[in-house]
Chain A
Amino acid sequence: MYKWFHQLGSPPTFYRWSGRWLPWLSLICFVLFVIGLYGGLVYAPADYQQSDSFRIMYVHVPAAWMSMFVYMVMAISGAIAIIWHMKLAEIVMLSSAPIGASFTFLALVTGSIWGKPMWGTWWEWGDARLVSELILLFLYIGVIGLYSAIDDKRKAAQSVAILSLVGIINIPIIHYSVIWLNTLHQGPTVTKFDNPSIDTRMLIPLLIMAVAFKLFYGIVLLLRSRNEVLWRERRSQWVKDTLGDKTDG
Protein backbone atom coordinates (compact mmCIF):
# COMPACT_ATOMS: atom_id res chain seq x y z
CA MET A 1 0.00 0.00 0.00
CA TYR A 2 2.75 2.41 1.01
CA LYS A 3 4.80 1.44 -1.99
CA TRP A 4 1.84 2.01 -4.28
CA PHE A 5 1.22 5.40 -2.69
CA HIS A 6 4.86 6.30 -3.04
CA GLN A 7 4.96 5.25 -6.70
CA LEU A 8 1.83 7.19 -7.49
CA GLY A 9 3.51 10.23 -6.00
CA SER A 10 6.31 10.02 -8.54
CA PRO A 11 5.59 12.43 -11.40
CA PRO A 12 6.08 10.11 -14.42
CA THR A 13 3.93 7.37 -12.86
CA PHE A 14 1.23 9.87 -12.00
CA TYR A 15 1.33 11.32 -15.49
CA ARG A 16 1.06 7.95 -17.20
CA TRP A 17 -1.57 6.59 -14.82
CA SER A 18 -3.79 9.67 -15.00
CA GLY A 19 -3.55 9.76 -18.79
CA ARG A 20 -4.84 6.22 -18.95
CA TRP A 21 -7.79 6.87 -16.63
CA LEU A 22 -8.95 10.23 -17.95
CA PRO A 23 -10.89 9.02 -21.01
CA TRP A 24 -12.82 6.47 -18.93
CA LEU A 25 -13.59 8.93 -16.16
CA SER A 26 -14.76 11.46 -18.74
CA LEU A 27 -17.04 8.90 -20.39
CA ILE A 28 -18.64 7.82 -17.09
CA CYS A 29 -18.99 11.45 -15.98
CA PHE A 30 -20.67 12.43 -19.26
CA VAL A 31 -23.15 9.54 -19.08
CA LEU A 32 -23.98 10.39 -15.45
CA PHE A 33 -24.58 14.04 -16.37
CA VAL A 34 -26.96 13.02 -19.16
CA ILE A 35 -28.91 10.63 -16.89
CA GLY A 36 -28.86 13.08 -13.98
CA LEU A 37 -30.07 16.01 -16.07
CA TYR A 38 -32.85 13.94 -17.60
CA GLY A 39 -33.81 12.71 -14.14
CA GLY A 40 -33.76 16.15 -12.60
CA LEU A 41 -35.43 18.10 -15.38
CA VAL A 42 -37.94 15.53 -16.67
CA TYR A 43 -38.33 12.40 -14.55
CA ALA A 44 -38.60 13.98 -11.09
CA PRO A 45 -42.13 15.22 -10.32
CA ALA A 46 -42.70 18.91 -9.60
CA ASP A 47 -42.50 19.88 -5.93
CA TYR A 48 -45.88 20.43 -4.26
CA GLN A 49 -44.69 23.68 -2.69
CA GLN A 50 -42.04 24.97 -5.05
CA SER A 51 -43.42 23.66 -8.37
CA ASP A 52 -40.66 23.37 -10.99
CA SER A 53 -38.37 25.94 -9.40
CA PHE A 54 -36.97 23.20 -7.13
CA ARG A 55 -35.21 21.75 -10.19
CA ILE A 56 -32.47 24.33 -9.60
CA MET A 57 -31.56 21.98 -6.74
CA TYR A 58 -29.93 19.54 -9.19
CA VAL A 59 -27.12 21.98 -9.91
CA HIS A 60 -27.25 23.99 -6.69
CA VAL A 61 -26.92 21.19 -4.14
CA PRO A 62 -24.13 19.22 -5.88
CA ALA A 63 -22.21 22.48 -6.42
CA ALA A 64 -22.63 23.40 -2.75
CA TRP A 65 -21.56 19.94 -1.56
CA MET A 66 -18.53 20.06 -3.83
CA SER A 67 -17.61 23.55 -2.64
CA MET A 68 -17.03 22.05 0.82
CA PHE A 69 -15.62 18.72 -0.35
CA VAL A 70 -13.01 20.37 -2.58
CA TYR A 71 -12.05 22.64 0.31
CA MET A 72 -11.43 19.63 2.54
CA VAL A 73 -9.32 17.96 -0.17
CA MET A 74 -7.37 21.20 -0.60
CA ALA A 75 -6.72 21.65 3.13
CA ILE A 76 -5.84 17.99 3.76
CA SER A 77 -3.43 17.83 0.83
CA GLY A 78 -1.99 21.10 2.11
CA ALA A 79 -1.32 19.42 5.45
CA ILE A 80 0.26 16.41 3.71
CA ALA A 81 2.41 18.78 1.63
CA ILE A 82 3.69 20.54 4.78
CA ILE A 83 4.26 17.43 6.90
CA TRP A 84 5.67 14.96 4.36
CA HIS A 85 6.89 17.41 1.70
CA MET A 86 4.98 15.43 -0.88
CA LYS A 87 5.14 17.35 -4.15
CA LEU A 88 2.03 15.76 -5.60
CA ALA A 89 0.00 16.77 -2.54
CA GLU A 90 1.12 20.35 -3.06
CA ILE A 91 0.01 20.15 -6.69
CA VAL A 92 -3.39 18.70 -5.70
CA MET A 93 -3.83 21.56 -3.22
CA LEU A 94 -2.98 24.21 -5.81
CA SER A 95 -5.06 22.60 -8.58
CA SER A 96 -8.11 22.29 -6.32
CA ALA A 97 -8.43 25.99 -5.50
CA PRO A 98 -9.79 27.27 -8.84
CA ILE A 99 -12.21 24.33 -9.16
CA GLY A 100 -13.45 24.84 -5.62
CA ALA A 101 -13.90 28.53 -6.32
CA SER A 102 -16.00 27.70 -9.41
CA PHE A 103 -18.24 25.34 -7.45
CA THR A 104 -18.67 27.89 -4.67
CA PHE A 105 -19.49 30.59 -7.21
CA LEU A 106 -22.08 28.29 -8.78
CA ALA A 107 -23.61 27.40 -5.42
CA LEU A 108 -23.97 31.10 -4.58
CA VAL A 109 -25.34 32.17 -7.97
CA THR A 110 -27.79 29.28 -8.43
CA GLY A 111 -28.87 29.68 -4.81
CA SER A 112 -29.52 33.32 -5.43
CA ILE A 113 -31.56 32.53 -8.55
CA TRP A 114 -33.55 30.00 -6.54
CA GLY A 115 -33.97 32.37 -3.62
CA LYS A 116 -35.54 35.16 -5.66
CA PRO A 117 -38.83 33.36 -6.49
CA MET A 118 -38.92 31.35 -3.23
CA TRP A 119 -37.83 33.88 -0.60
CA GLY A 120 -38.48 37.05 -2.60
CA THR A 121 -34.85 38.15 -2.37
CA TRP A 122 -31.60 37.47 -4.22
CA TRP A 123 -29.47 37.82 -1.13
CA GLU A 124 -29.83 38.15 2.64
CA TRP A 125 -26.89 39.34 4.74
CA GLY A 126 -28.53 38.03 7.89
CA ASP A 127 -28.54 34.41 6.69
CA ALA A 128 -25.63 32.44 8.13
CA ARG A 129 -25.59 29.82 5.35
CA LEU A 130 -25.35 32.46 2.62
CA VAL A 131 -22.69 34.52 4.36
CA SER A 132 -20.49 31.54 5.35
CA GLU A 133 -20.62 30.24 1.78
CA LEU A 134 -19.54 33.69 0.56
CA ILE A 135 -16.64 33.56 3.03
CA LEU A 136 -15.72 30.20 1.48
CA LEU A 137 -15.46 31.90 -1.91
CA PHE A 138 -13.20 34.55 -0.39
CA LEU A 139 -11.02 31.81 1.13
CA TYR A 140 -10.58 30.18 -2.27
CA ILE A 141 -9.79 33.54 -3.87
CA GLY A 142 -7.40 34.24 -1.01
CA VAL A 143 -5.59 30.95 -1.63
CA ILE A 144 -5.23 31.67 -5.35
CA GLY A 145 -4.17 35.28 -4.74
CA LEU A 146 -1.69 34.46 -1.99
CA TYR A 147 0.04 31.82 -4.08
CA SER A 148 0.52 34.16 -7.02
CA ALA A 149 1.56 37.07 -4.77
CA ILE A 150 4.58 35.30 -3.21
CA ASP A 151 7.52 34.94 -5.57
CA ASP A 152 9.29 32.14 -3.69
CA LYS A 153 7.01 29.27 -4.72
CA ARG A 154 8.11 27.00 -1.87
CA LYS A 155 7.15 29.65 0.64
CA ALA A 156 4.00 30.44 -1.33
CA ALA A 157 2.83 26.82 -1.19
CA GLN A 158 3.49 26.67 2.56
CA SER A 159 1.59 29.88 3.23
CA VAL A 160 -1.31 28.69 1.12
CA ALA A 161 -1.43 25.36 2.97
CA ILE A 162 -1.57 27.18 6.30
CA LEU A 163 -4.26 29.56 5.09
CA SER A 164 -6.43 26.70 3.85
CA LEU A 165 -5.93 24.78 7.11
CA VAL A 166 -7.00 27.78 9.16
CA GLY A 167 -9.99 28.26 6.88
CA ILE A 168 -11.29 24.75 7.65
CA ILE A 169 -13.09 26.30 10.61
CA ASN A 170 -15.58 27.71 8.11
CA ILE A 171 -16.69 24.26 6.88
CA PRO A 172 -18.64 23.12 10.00
CA ILE A 173 -20.08 26.63 10.20
CA ILE A 174 -21.49 26.27 6.68
CA HIS A 175 -22.77 22.78 7.40
CA TYR A 176 -24.48 23.50 10.70
CA SER A 177 -25.57 27.06 9.96
CA VAL A 178 -29.04 25.94 8.87
CA ILE A 179 -29.49 23.85 12.02
CA TRP A 180 -28.05 26.21 14.63
CA LEU A 181 -29.31 29.44 13.14
CA ASN A 182 -32.76 29.15 11.74
CA THR A 183 -32.90 31.89 9.14
CA LEU A 184 -33.82 32.00 5.48
CA HIS A 185 -32.07 28.97 4.05
CA GLN A 186 -34.04 25.75 4.33
CA GLY A 187 -32.79 22.90 6.48
CA PRO A 188 -31.14 19.76 5.11
CA THR A 189 -33.46 17.37 3.30
CA VAL A 190 -31.04 14.71 2.18
CA THR A 191 -28.40 14.27 4.86
CA LYS A 192 -30.95 13.06 7.36
CA PHE A 193 -30.27 9.58 6.07
CA ASP A 194 -32.55 7.75 8.49
CA ASN A 195 -35.53 9.60 7.13
CA PRO A 196 -34.81 11.87 4.19
CA SER A 197 -37.72 14.24 3.68
CA ILE A 198 -37.61 13.95 -0.08
CA ASP A 199 -39.38 11.81 -2.69
CA THR A 200 -37.24 8.95 -4.05
CA ARG A 201 -37.91 10.07 -7.62
CA MET A 202 -36.45 13.46 -6.66
CA LEU A 203 -33.60 12.01 -4.63
CA ILE A 204 -32.14 9.57 -7.18
CA PRO A 205 -31.37 12.22 -9.87
CA LEU A 206 -29.81 14.37 -7.14
CA LEU A 207 -27.48 11.58 -6.07
CA ILE A 208 -26.56 10.87 -9.71
CA MET A 209 -25.78 14.56 -10.23
CA ALA A 210 -23.72 14.56 -7.04
CA VAL A 211 -21.59 11.66 -8.32
CA ALA A 212 -21.29 13.37 -11.72
CA PHE A 213 -20.05 16.57 -10.05
CA LYS A 214 -17.55 14.60 -7.98
CA LEU A 215 -16.19 12.86 -11.07
CA PHE A 216 -16.08 16.20 -12.86
CA TYR A 217 -13.91 17.55 -10.05
CA GLY A 218 -11.66 14.48 -10.36
CA ILE A 219 -11.27 15.05 -14.09
CA VAL A 220 -10.47 18.76 -13.86
CA LEU A 221 -8.16 18.08 -10.91
CA LEU A 222 -6.23 15.51 -12.97
CA LEU A 223 -6.06 17.85 -15.98
CA ARG A 224 -4.74 20.73 -13.88
CA SER A 225 -2.33 18.55 -11.92
CA ARG A 226 -0.95 16.99 -15.11
CA ASN A 227 -0.25 20.47 -16.49
CA GLU A 228 1.52 21.49 -13.30
CA VAL A 229 3.56 18.26 -13.20
CA LEU A 230 4.56 18.66 -16.84
CA TRP A 231 5.73 22.24 -16.29
CA ARG A 232 7.60 21.55 -13.05
CA GLU A 233 9.37 18.54 -14.57
CA ARG A 234 10.10 20.24 -17.89
CA ARG A 235 13.85 19.66 -17.50
CA SER A 236 13.58 15.94 -16.83
CA GLN A 237 14.15 13.13 -19.28
CA TRP A 238 10.70 11.57 -18.94
CA VAL A 239 9.01 14.78 -20.09
CA LYS A 240 11.27 14.86 -23.15
CA ASP A 241 10.39 11.23 -23.86
CA THR A 242 6.67 11.81 -23.32
CA LEU A 243 6.53 14.85 -25.56
CA GLY A 244 8.64 13.15 -28.19
CA ASP A 245 6.24 10.23 -28.27
CA LYS A 246 3.23 11.34 -30.27
CA THR A 247 1.05 8.44 -29.15
CA ASP A 248 0.72 9.79 -25.61
CA GLY A 249 -1.92 12.47 -25.12
Chain B
Amino acid sequence: MADFLHMGGYAAFVWSAYAISGVVLIASLLLPLFEKKKIIKRIKHMLQEDQI
Protein backbone atom coordinates (compact mmCIF):
# COMPACT_ATOMS: atom_id res chain seq x y z
CA MET B 1 0.00 0.00 0.00
CA ALA B 2 2.81 2.41 0.90
CA ASP B 3 4.51 1.47 -2.37
CA PHE B 4 1.30 2.20 -4.23
CA LEU B 5 0.96 5.64 -2.64
CA HIS B 6 4.65 6.33 -3.21
CA MET B 7 4.32 5.87 -7.02
CA GLY B 8 8.03 5.20 -7.49
CA GLY B 9 8.86 8.64 -6.11
CA TYR B 10 6.42 10.45 -8.41
CA ALA B 11 3.56 10.55 -5.89
CA ALA B 12 3.21 14.35 -5.94
CA PHE B 13 2.91 14.40 -9.74
CA VAL B 14 0.71 11.34 -10.23
CA TRP B 15 -1.74 12.08 -7.42
CA SER B 16 -2.07 15.77 -8.19
CA ALA B 17 -2.86 14.93 -11.84
CA TYR B 18 -5.55 12.46 -10.72
CA ALA B 19 -6.93 14.84 -8.09
CA ILE B 20 -7.32 17.70 -10.57
CA SER B 21 -8.94 15.35 -13.09
CA GLY B 22 -11.35 14.09 -10.46
CA VAL B 23 -12.34 17.60 -9.40
CA VAL B 24 -12.88 18.81 -12.98
CA LEU B 25 -14.88 15.74 -14.02
CA ILE B 26 -17.09 15.76 -10.92
CA ALA B 27 -17.72 19.48 -11.36
CA SER B 28 -18.71 18.97 -15.03
CA LEU B 29 -21.19 16.36 -13.88
CA LEU B 30 -22.67 18.33 -10.97
CA LEU B 31 -22.98 21.67 -12.77
CA PRO B 32 -25.73 20.60 -15.22
CA LEU B 33 -27.54 18.75 -12.40
CA PHE B 34 -27.75 21.93 -10.32
CA GLU B 35 -28.66 23.86 -13.44
CA LYS B 36 -31.57 21.49 -14.05
CA LYS B 37 -32.99 22.10 -10.58
CA LYS B 38 -32.77 25.85 -11.18
CA ILE B 39 -34.48 25.60 -14.58
CA ILE B 40 -37.33 23.45 -13.26
CA LYS B 41 -37.86 25.90 -10.41
CA ARG B 42 -37.98 28.83 -12.82
CA ILE B 43 -40.41 27.10 -15.18
CA LYS B 44 -42.72 26.05 -12.33
CA HIS B 45 -42.65 29.60 -11.01
CA MET B 46 -43.46 30.87 -14.49
CA LEU B 47 -46.38 28.43 -14.84
CA GLN B 48 -47.80 29.52 -11.49
CA GLU B 49 -47.69 33.17 -12.52
CA ASP B 50 -49.53 32.28 -15.72
CA GLN B 51 -52.36 30.76 -13.73
CA ILE B 52 -52.93 33.87 -11.60
Q: B18 contacts which chain A residues (CB < 8 A)?
A: 41, 56, 59
Q: B32 contacts which chain A residues (CB < 8 A)?
A: 220, 223-224, 227
Interface size class of B (residues with CB under 8 A): 20 to 34
A55 near B24 with CB under 8 A, answer no
Number of A-B contacts (CB under 8 A): 86
CB distance from B32 to the nearest CB of A (A): 4
Q: B17 contacts which chain A residues (CB < 8 A)?
A: 56, 59-60, 109-110, 113-114
A231 near B39 with CB under 8 A, answer yes
- In the assembled complex, B29 has its CB within 8 A of some CB on chain A: yes
- Count residues of chain A with CB under 8 A from any CB of chain B: 35
User: Dominant SS at the B interface?
Assistant: helix
B10 near A117 with CB under 8 A, answer yes
- In the assembled complex, B2 has its CB within 8 A of some CB on chain A: no
CB distance from A66 to the nearest CB of B (A): 11
Q: Complex Cα distance A99/B7, Å?
A: 30
CB distance from B11 to the nearest CB of A (A): 8
Q: A41 contacts which chain B residues (CB < 8 A)?
A: 4, 18
